[in-house]
Amino acid sequence: MTILFCFAHPDDESFSGAGTAMRCAAAGAKTVLVTATLGERGKRGDPPVCEEADLPAVREHELRNAAAVIGFDELHLLGYRDRELADAPPEAMRRVLVSHLRRLRPAVVVTFDPNGFNAHPDHVAISRFCSEAIAAAADPRWHPDAGAPHQVRRLLWTPPVAPWDAVALDLDLAAQPGADFVIDVSAFRKRRIAALRAHRTQHLSVDRYFFDRPELDRIVDVEIWRQAWGPALATRPSRDVFDGL
């Protein structure tokens, strides 16, 4: 089985997804990351880790380091402009994502929820493009030269409650709407932390949600996903993203 993570920026995969990817890989699945932009208009750190002109190259390097720590089998950079993803041509975006979906044939795809998790326009955009490409990939009338049709079995979204908030508020995730998958990734804690640390230019936000928090270990030990669609779950939350496939 293959699981495809489709995100907007370098570091999105380390905020949410790294633990699930490592757990799936340990169980024998192929894991692939698609990142749409280089986050080249993001922060550079305080003090700055690099010159502004070097940020795209530095962030690509950070992403490649994080992806190596996580152990993705493939990493694909789509090269769209940071903070302009919503304006990307839908036809070109659909074609590239349909090509990846038909070649990789993932059972599960993970992306941002339609509100982009934190309402970031690029997060909203990649959610929209990814959802549309999944539907198109299953229909042979779309891009017939881009491979044989493929039906994704399950689409997962980022959750309505972030792990750092769930831990801080001591929420009962079993009772939280949208916490459809609660994945124990504690076995991969050290590597999860290393992947977050790889994004050195993003240390301000990484510190804010992870390393400045006394509950760091509990935060990095869990990942939460919402099922957009897929086979009905016998119990919520499920503990396995391939549950029922």
Binding site for Zn ion (CB under 5 A): 8-9, 12
Cβ distance to Zn ion smaller for residue 9 or 105 = 9
Cβ distance to Zn ion smaller for residue 12 or 40 = 12
Q: How far is the CB of 8 from Zn ion (least distance, A)?
A: 5
Cβ distance to Zn ion smaller for residue 201 or 238 = 201
> Which residues lie closer than 8 Å to 199 by C-beta, 6 or more apart?
10, 11, 14, 59, 62, 63, 66, 206
- What is the rounded CA–CA span in Å between residue 158 and residue 178? 9
Cβ distance to Zn ion smaller for residue 10 or 230 = 10
Q: How far is the CB of 42 from Zn ion (least distance, A)?
A: 8
- What is the rounded CA–CA span in Å between residue 68 and residue 73? 9
The SS3 call for residue 50 is coil
**Residue in the shown chain whose Cβ atom is closest to Zn ion:** 9
Phi, psi of 133 (to 5 degrees): -65, -35
Q: How far is the CB of 230 from Zn ion (least distance, A)?
A: 24
Q: How far is the CB of 193 from Zn ion (least distance, A)?
A: 19
With 0-12 / 13-18 / 19 or more C-beta atoms within 10 angstroms meaning exposed / middle / buried, residue 106 is: buried
Alpha helix ranges (H) inside 27-109: 55-70, 90-104
Cβ distance to Zn ion smaller for residue 102 or 123 = 123
Q: Is the peptide bond before 237 cis (omega within 30 degrees of 0)?
A: yes
Q: How far is the CB of 148 from Zn ion (least distance, A)?
A: 32
Q: How far is the CB of 17 from Zn ion (least distance, A)?
A: 11
DSSP string, 93-127: HHHHHHHHHHHH--SEEEE--TTHHHH-HHHHHHH
What residue has token string 């994502």? 97
Cβ distance to Zn ion smaller for residue 113 or 243 = 113
Q: How far is the CB of 121 from Zn ion (least distance, A)?
A: 10
Cβ distance to Zn ion smaller for residue 8 or 75 = 8
Radius of gyration of the chain (CA): 17
DSSP bridge pairs for 182: 224
